Chain A
Amino acid sequence: MSSPERKRKKRSLEPSPESTPNPSLPDDLIVSILARVSRLYYPILSLVSKSSRTLVTSPELYKTRSFFNRTESCLYVCLDFPPDPNPRWFTLYRKPNQNITEKTKNSSGFVLAPIPNHHSHSSSIVAIGSNIYAIGGSIENAPSSKVSILDCRSHTWHEAPSMRMKRNYPAANVVDGKIYVAGGLEEFDSSKWMEVFDIKTQTWEFVLSPLAERFIYRSLVIEGEIYIFGDKVVTYKPKEDRWGGVGEHQSMDLGLFFHSYCVIDNVLYCYRPGGIKWYESEKRSWRKLRGLKGLSKLASSCVKLADYGGKMALLWDKYIPCSGNKSHSISCAVVSLERCKNQGIRGKVEWFDDMLTVPSSYNFVGALAATL
Chain B
Amino acid sequence: MSEGDLAVMKPETMKSYIWLQTADGSIQQVEQEVAMFCPMICQEVIQKGVGSSKNHAISLPQRVNPAMFSLILDYCRFHQLPGRSNKERKTYDERFIRMDTKRLCELTSAADSLQLKPLVDLTSRALARIIEGKNPEEIREIFHLPDDLTEEEKLEPLKNSMDDPRIRLLNRLYAKKRKELKERERLKNVEVEEHVDERSVDDLLSFINGRDHKAVKMSKGKKKKKKKKDQKIVSSNNIHDKESHDLRSKQQCVEEIGSSMREVPNLLSAEDDISTPNAGSEDEDIDDEIDPAMRELLDREVEDFAQRLNSNWVRSLGKERRPVHFSINGNGTTRRHTGMVSIWRPCMFTLF
Instruction: Give Cα A276 to B350, complex, Å.
Output: 11
For this complex, 11 residue pairs linking A to B, each with C-beta atoms less than 8 Å apart, are: A23-B106, A34-B131, A47-B149, A47-B157, A48-B149, A49-B147, A83-B326, A114-B160, A214-B312, A297-B284, A325-B292
The 6 closest A-B pairs by CB, nearest first: A301-B297, A359-B256, A36-B128, A274-B350, A10-B26, A83-B249
- Closest CB in chain A relative to B231 CB, distance in Å: 10
Q: A22 with B106: in contact, given A44-B135, A95-B268, A297-B351 (CB under 8 Å)? A: yes
B positions within 8 Å CB-CB of A: 3-4, 7-8, 13, 16-17, 24, 26-31, 63, 65-68, 70, 102, 105-106, 108-109, 112, 120-121, 124-125, 127-128, 131-136, 139-140, 143-149, 153-154, 157-162, 164-165, 246, 249-250, 252-253, 256-257, 259-261, 263-264, 267-271, 276-280, 282, 284-286, 292-294, 296-301, 304, 308-309, 311-312, 315, 319-322, 325-326, 329-330, 332, 344, 347-352
Instruction: Report whether B271 and A258 are in contact in the complex, using a CB–CB cutoff of 8 Å.
Output: no
Are A112 and B325 neighbours in the complex by a CB distance under 8 Å? no
The answer to whether A358 touches B284, judged by C-beta atoms less than 8 angstroms apart, is no
Interface residues of A (CB under 8 A from B): 1-2, 4, 6-11, 13-14, 17-18, 20, 22-26, 29-30, 32-34, 36-38, 41, 43-53, 68, 80-84, 88, 95-100, 106-107, 109, 111-116, 118, 138, 141-143, 168-169, 184, 186-187, 214-217, 258-259, 272-275, 292-302, 318-321, 323, 325-327, 329, 331, 333, 352-361, 363
B351–A10 CB distance below 8 A: no
Question: Do A23 and B105 touch across chains, with their CB atoms under 8 A apart?
Answer: yes
Q: Given A96-B157, A142-B321, are A258 and B301 also a contact pair (CB < 8 Å)? A: yes
Complex Cα distance, B246 from A83, in Å, reads: 8
Q: A8-B70, A10-B27, A49-B148 are in contact. Are A24 and B143 (CB under 8 A)?
A: yes
Apart from A84-B165, A169-B311, A299-B348, what are 9 other A-B pairs with CB-CB below 8 Å?
A1-B7, A7-B29, A10-B28, A29-B112, A32-B124, A48-B139, A82-B253, A299-B284, A299-B286
A355 to B268, CA, bound (A): 10
* A301 with B299: CB separation less than 8 A: yes
- Are B149 and A50 closer than 8 Å at their CB atoms? yes
Kindly identify which residue among A9, A138, A272 contacts B347, using a CB–CB cutoff of 8 Å. Answer: A272
Decide: B263 and A297 in contact? CB cutoff 8 A.
Answer: no
Contact residues in A for B8 (Cβ distance below 8 Å): 2
Report the bound CA distance from A107 to B278 in whole Å. Answer: 9
Q: Which residues of chain A are near B29, meaning CB under 8 Å? A: 2, 6-7
Q: Name the CB-closest residue of A to B286.
A: A299
Q: Which residue of A lies closest to B280 (CB)?
A: A296
Could you tell me if A43 and B259 are in contact, using CB atoms closer than 8 angstroms? no
Q: Given A20-B65, A41-B131, A275 and B350 touching (CB < 8 A)?
A: yes
CA distance A284 to B188 in the complex (A): 77
Q: Provide the residues of chain A in CB contact with B112, threshold 8 Å.
A: 26, 29
Q: Is the CB of B321 within 8 A of A49?
A: no
Tell whether, in the assembled complex, residue A321 and residue B285 are in contact, meaning their CB atoms are under 8 Å apart.
yes
Bound CA span A32–B128, Å: 9
**In the complex, are the beta carbons of B347 and A25 less than 8 A apart?**
no
A18 CB contacts on chain B under 8 angstroms: 102
Pair A2/B321 contact, Cβ less than 8 Å: no
In contact, A97 and B270 (Cβ under 8 angstroms): yes
Contacts of A358 in B (CB 8 A): 260-261
Contacts of A356 in B (CB 8 A): 264, 267
Least Cβ–Cβ distance between A141 and chain B, in angstroms? 5
Which among A53, A186, A215, A273 is the interface contact of B348 at CB below 8 angstroms? A273
Residues of B with C-beta under 8 A to A24: 143-144
Residue on B nearest A216 in the bound complex, by CB:
B308
**A41 to B347, alpha carbons, bound, how many Å?**
39
Q: How far is the CA of A352 from the CA of B157 in the complex (A)?
A: 23
Shortest beta-carbon distance from B270 to chain A in Å: 5
Q: Give the residue of A29, A37, A296, A302 whose beta carbon is less than 8 angstroms from that of B351.
A: A296
Tell me which residues across on chain A come within 8 A of B143, comparing CB atoms. Answer: 24-25, 30, 48, 52
Chain A positions within 8 Å of B297 at CB level: 273, 300-301
Contacts of A29 in B (CB 8 A): 108-109, 112, 120, 124
How many angstroms from the CA of A209 to the CA of B4 in the assembled complex?
84
Would you call A333 and B279 a contact (CB within 8 A)? yes
- Once A83-B249, A114-B161, A295-B280 are accepted as A-B contacts, the answer to whether A36 and B125 lie under 8 Å apart by CB is yes
Report Cα–Cα, A362/B285, bound state, in Å. Answer: 21
B261 x A37 contact (CB < 8 A):
no
Smallest beta-carbon distance A291→chain B, Å: 9
Q: Find B65's partner among A14, A327, A360 (CB 8 Å cutoff).
A: A14
Partner of A329 from the list B3, B277, B299 (CB cut-off 8 Å) is B277
Residues of chain A with a CB closer than 8 A to B326's CB = 82-83
Please determine whether A294 and B293 come into contact, CB atoms closer than 8 angstroms: no
**Which residue on chain B has the smallest CB distance to residue A142?**
B319
Q: Assess the A17–B65 pair: CB atoms within 8 A.
A: yes
Q: Are B322 and A82 in contact (CB under 8 A)?
A: yes
Cβ contacts under 8 Å, A357 to chain B: 260-261, 263-264
Assuming A17-B65, A50-B149, A274-B348, is B277 touching A215 (CB within 8 A)?
no
Complex alpha-carbon distance, A298 and B271, angstroms = 28
- Complex: how many Å from CA A355 to CA B159? 16
Asked if B24 and A14 make an inter-chain contact with CB atoms under 8 angstroms apart, the answer reads yes
Are the C-beta atoms of B325 and A82 separated by less than 8 Å? yes
B13 to chain A, nearest CB (A): 6
Measured between beta carbons, the chain B residues less than 8 angstroms from A98 are: 135, 270
Find the residue from B135, B270, B315, B320 having the highest chain A CB count within 10 A.
B270
A214 to B312, CA, bound (A): 9
* Chain A hits for B109, CB < 8 A: 23, 25-26, 29
Nearest Cβ on chain B to A364's Cβ, whole angstroms = 9
CA distance A80 to B329 in the complex (A): 12
Min CB distance B17 to A, Å, is 5
Asked whether, in the complex, the Cβ of B293 is within 8 Å of the Cβ of A38, the reply is no
